[in-house]
Structure 1
Amino acid sequence: MDWRRLKFPIFAIGAQVAFLILFGVLGEYGDDSKPIHPGTSEGSLKLYPYFQDVHVMIFVGFGFLMTFLKRYGFSAVSVNLLVAAFVLQWAFIVRGIIHMVAMGHVKFAIYLGEMLSADFAAATVLISFGAVLGKASPLQLLIMALVEVVFAQINEFIGLYMFSAQDVGESMYIHAFGAYFGLAVARMLYNEKHEEAKSEGSVYQSDIFSMIGTIFLWLFWPSFNGGAAAGDEQQRALINTYLSLAACTIITFAMSQLVDKRGKFNMVHVQNATLAGGVALGTSANMPLQPWGAMLVGCIAGVISVLGYQYLTPLLKAKLKIHDTCGVNNLHGMPGILAGVVGAVAAAMAKPETWGESLYEVFPLMVPMANTTEFETAVDLYDVTRPGSGRSAIIQGGYQMLALVLTLVIAVVGGAITGLLLRLNCCDNVQGGRMFDDREFFIVEGQGYPDVEGHDHDVTLRERHGDNDTTKTPMLEG
């Protein structure tokens, strides 16, 4: 075996052993699962269907969405599985240590709520994966995940617990962060040999597979935005996301035909921009935007996403040397920024007269301070039980914007640092014509595997088992 191929198994086995030790020393079951507390909380079990919906999004939705590359389907689905499984475990540890340091916990607990948060952490890294799809080795991706989870969880802790900037669907803390972290990594990994890779691009069948991912993500996105909420907030999150996705889809198809010189639909837009409404609604999903407001956000998201794919992606590559394989800036980045802005505006305009008790449920620091007339009024009218900081709507909106800005800064700086790390020769870099090709890391069945000229290939049994002295026979023209 080539010594270079030993780096990944050594790193992966070492990481898994470290995870086992850290879970053994620092982890424990949550109270509902401990044998000394027989029985399970019904409240916690109600979260399981939403967790499963998000789980499907992570492993099926994201995986198949990235199968559009004609020669990279194995990697898109299976490396997606690898990275997600790695991040799930690492996120428990990182989140647990952060909370142990900040809140004085002795150990971190494993329970359904944290399982959902671990899936969200995986989504962050998988979004970044989309920016470097086909250009990074499995070893590089695990190293990227190791670093990114730390940056992402620190950023989220600052935003949620220090700024109290709310983001129920995590459009700032997951989508915007993951997109711009990934773009910064892609910029650091960029080299002129990208042009030598002739495998980039799709074929009819790969685009169909990619649409499987799109449909799964589209169907389950309301659970992504609303799974962590409760009560009327959850109801609004589900309804708002549902309507935003529907409106976004209509606008995406319309815009796709408008920007094409031949007046035809572009599958890149259909596969991706139709989902932008779910991203753009994430921060404000649980807020009383009204149905028409949610639909308007979806419409705006569809417009900026399609225009991004059509015009901005080529510009970023030509002017800034940022090669964004999946267009994560257009699906996750710009819609994530839109989500943050919408959330900040909604917070700045929030009033108890129109929001009712939801104002204090969504923004707990806006509850009036204790021993004030305003607090007594809130107790009488809105069933408030705990005093807050008396934060005004304008200040809350300012903190929402501050969290968005901080997210972008940490993502770009963290991504750039990570990208420089991944450029080291020891990280198993993928070069030139080896990019976007499953054969670099997988045993590939020959029949049905198109070459760069569009032919299918058949391979002998010897080649499948690693004998390089074999020939490939063209079978069918693609």
Structure 2
Amino acid sequence: NIIARGREDTNTNMRLKLPITCFILEIILIILFGVLVEYDKETDARKWHHSNHSEYDNDFYYRYPSFQDVHVMIFIGFGFLMTFLQRYGFSSVGFNFLIAALALQWATLMQGFFHGMHGGKIHVGVESMINADFCTGSVLISFGAVLGKTSPVQLLVMAVFEVTLFAVNEFILLSLLGTKDAGGSMTIHTFGAYFGLMVARVLYRPNLHKSKHKNSSVYHSDMFAMIGTLYLWMFWPSFNSAITAHGDDQHRTALNTYYSLAACTLSTYAMSALTAHDGKLDMVHIQNAALAGGVAAGTAGEMMLTPFGSMIVGFLAGIISVLGYKYLSPILESKLKIQDTCGVHNLHGMPGVMGAIVGAVTASLATKEIYGDGLIQIIFCLGFIMKLPIYGAPSDASCFEDSIYWEVIESVINWYPVLSIEMTVHKYNYGISCKKTEFFLFVWFLISF
């Protein structure tokens, strides 16, 4: 066992692999930005001040509040949503942070390249920041499918490839086919979900059962995951409306998403209790399916969907998502060999397709064309590249484990259940009051942090 452990430490050691990858990627990005990127007309001081207009006409004042909301969703919402694994909290938030920082830079270049160069330059401003965050969101959706089973170097490689293909997919859908997808049901959620599922299929681990005991949550990890859920839920109207046209379009998108999420939440709670044998709510459903209404309202959000229609969309999305978590996810793993850690197919895949159908039948047909054989072959190639034994991927027995890549101090929070039992025993033996017991447990909980 000691020999095997030593080999694993050598394989997963990031001392050279991660620094080399990060330095090379960032140096390349800095050079490309220096050569290709410049401020747009509303950011460049020389261009802005040569025009006759009010300072408050600048697009910054219209778009930046939405950008802030989207940015919070990317770094806090997605990051904490994935902290449900009991021993993978550092990696969930930390790797989310890492790949998001890379993806938004690379996305600026790729989206600028495909969506129009201006005199050989890519112009950047607040709207390009929002679009880069959208692309990053798609990468983080894919991250959820392979959560716990990949090294940070593998994730960086995946981000580089996915951002590039995202920009191609977005160009075909929005520019060539002329579809409307302000909230990204097709371009962000559907693409990110099925890209991640394809990578997860290629990276299939037949012996993943060795880490099964760590592929689960505990009380406090589910609470942290709910932080991510609530941030995503609150800011989703901003996400869907961030780049829609000013005026009634943006107003209508936010309102439609608002009511879709509300209806989705109630149907999620209802279905969670209905599908449980004892009628108890499942935190997996609440953390994820309650967000499906925002995904499903993405494409059609700016249309005259009406509050009534939005609520129907959200209501159905919650039902579909819960049923997916309950019945479809086990089938995907057992029959198709797709180990979807976060269930991105249920939160982003199926609701994304539903959103495309609600938005327009032609858009859904275009999505089918986008995910044709050519793109699937490229994704499979990426999966095989990521599977090479040079990236420090964890062994089957070490998946879903922070200590492989992080300095982890075993805190007393791991002793919390044992401590609770001991204090309860002492309560009866020595007459300690229930309130004192809870106080002592609370103190221990604080010390553990």
Deviation, structure 1 residue 37: 2.8
Per-residue displacement from partner, 1:374-413 (whole Å, max 9, x unpaired)? xxxxxxxxxxxxxxxxxxxxxxx42x12322134337644
Q: Distance in 2 between matches of 1:303 and 1:73?
A: 29
Q: 1:91 aligns with which of 107, 113, 130?
A: 107
Residues 454 and 316 (structure 1 numbering): CA distance in 2 closer, same or farther, change over 3 Å? Answer: farther
Q: Distance in 1 between matches of 2:145 and 2:376?
A: 13
Alignment correspondent of 1:367: none
Alignment correspondent of 1:289: 305
Unaligned runs of 5+ in 1: 345-396, 457-474
Residues 316 and 2 (structure 1 numbering): CA distance in 2 closer, same or farther, change over 3 Å? Answer: closer
Q: 1:15 aligns with which of 25, 48, 68?
A: 25
Does residue 1:404 correspond to 2:363, yes or no? no
Does residue 1:343 correspond to 2:307, yes or no? no
Instruction: Report if the CA contact (8 A) 1:30-1:110 is conserved.
Output: yes
Deviation, structure 1 residue 78: 1.2
Alignment correspondent of 1:439: 403
- Between stretches 120-129 and 24-33, larger displacement belongs to 24-33
Q: Distance in 1 between matches of 2:417 and 2:36?
A: 52
Instruction: Report if the CA contact (8 A) 1:140-1:427 is conserved.
Output: yes
Q: Which amino acid aligns with 2:266?
A: I
Does residue 1:238 correspond to 2:238, yes or no? no
Does residue 1:269 correspond to 2:285, yes or no? yes
Residues 217 and 413 (structure 1 numbering): CA distance in 2 closer, same or farther, change over 3 Å? Answer: farther
Alignment correspondent of 2:160: 146
Q: Distance in 2 between matches of 1:414 and 1:263?
A: 44
Q: Which amino acid aligns with 2:331?
A: L
Aligned residue for 1:425, secondary structure, equals: coil
Instruction: Report if the CA contact (8 A) 1:167-1:282 is conserved.
Output: yes
Q: 1:125 aligns with which of 123, 131, 139?
A: 139
Does residue 1:26 correspond to 2:36, yes or no? yes
Instruction: Report if the CA contact (8 A) 1:152-1:411 is conserved.
Output: no
Q: Distance in 2 between matches of 1:172 and 1:105?
A: 31
Q: Distance in 1 between matches of 2:345 and 2:191?
A: 10
Instruction: Report if the CA contact (8 A) 1:135-1:436 is conserved.
Output: yes
Alignment correspondent of 2:125: 111
Q: Distance in 2 between matches of 1:146 and 1:294?
A: 35
The share of aligned pairs that are identical, in percent, is 48
Residues 19 and 449 (structure 1 numbering): CA distance in 2 closer, same or farther, change over 3 Å? Answer: farther
Q: Which amino acid aligns with 2:234?
A: L
Unaligned runs of 5+ in 2: 1-8, 50-54, 420-443
Q: Distance in 1 between matches of 2:278 and 2:168?
A: 47
Alignment correspondent of 2:436: none
Deviation, structure 1 residue 429: 1.9
Alignment correspondent of 1:373: none
Deviation, structure 1 residue 33: 1.7
Mapping for residues 338-377 of structure 1, pairs under 5 Å: 338-344=354-360
Q: Distance in 2 between matches of 1:418 and 1:64?
A: 27
Deviation, structure 1 residue 93: 1.2
Q: Distance in 2 between matches of 1:38 and 1:202?
A: 52
Residues 139 and 167 (structure 1 numbering): CA distance in 2 closer, same or farther, change over 3 Å? Answer: same
Alignment correspondent of 2:207: 193
Aligned residues: 403
Aligned residue for 2:390, secondary structure, equals: helix
CA RMSD, 1 decimal: 2.1
Deviation, structure 1 residue 448: 3.9
Alignment correspondent of 2:84: 68
Deviation, structure 1 residue 72: 0.3
Deviation, structure 1 residue 455: 7.0
Q: Which amino acid aligns with 1:205?
A: H
Aligned residue for 2:349, secondary structure, equals: helix
Alignment correspondent of 2:428: none
Q: Distance in 2 between matches of 1:421 and 1:414?
A: 11
- Between stretches 261-270 and 409-418, larger displacement belongs to 409-418
Deviation, structure 1 residue 414: 3.8
Q: Distance in 2 between matches of 1:105 and 1:225?
A: 31
Does residue 1:170 correspond to 2:217, yes or no? no
- TM-score, length of structure 1 as denominator length: 0.81
Mapping for residues 40-59 of structure 1, pairs under 5 Å: 41-59=57-75
Deviation, structure 1 residue 191: 1.6
Q: Distance in 1 between matches of 2:48 and 2:187?
A: 36
Aligned residue for 1:52, secondary structure, equals: helix
Q: Distance in 1 between matches of 2:239 and 2:325?
A: 24
Q: Which amino acid aligns with 1:429?
A: A
Residues 130 and 455 (structure 1 numbering): CA distance in 2 closer, same or farther, change over 3 Å? Answer: farther
Deviation, structure 1 residue 449: 5.8
Aligned residue for 1:32, secondary structure, equals: coil
- Between stretches 1-10 and 61-70, larger displacement belongs to 1-10
Q: Which amino acid aligns with 1:11?
A: T
Q: Distance in 2 between matches of 1:238 and 1:106?
A: 35
Does residue 1:161 correspond to 2:171, yes or no? no
Residues 238 and 12 (structure 1 numbering): CA distance in 2 closer, same or farther, change over 3 Å? Answer: same
Q: Distance in 2 between matches of 1:141 and 1:112?
A: 27
Alignment correspondent of 2:439: none
Per-residue displacement from partner, 1:53-92 (whole Å, max 9, x unpaired)? 0000000000000000000000111111111000010001
Per-residue displacement from partner, 1:351-385 (whole Å, max 9, x unpaired)? xxxxxxxxxxxxxxxxxxxxxxxxxxxxxxxxxxx
Instruction: Report if the CA contact (8 A) 1:70-1:450 is conserved.
Output: no
Q: 1:428 aligns with which of 365, 379, 392?
A: 392
- TM-score, length of structure 2 as denominator length: 0.86
Alignment correspondent of 2:241: 226
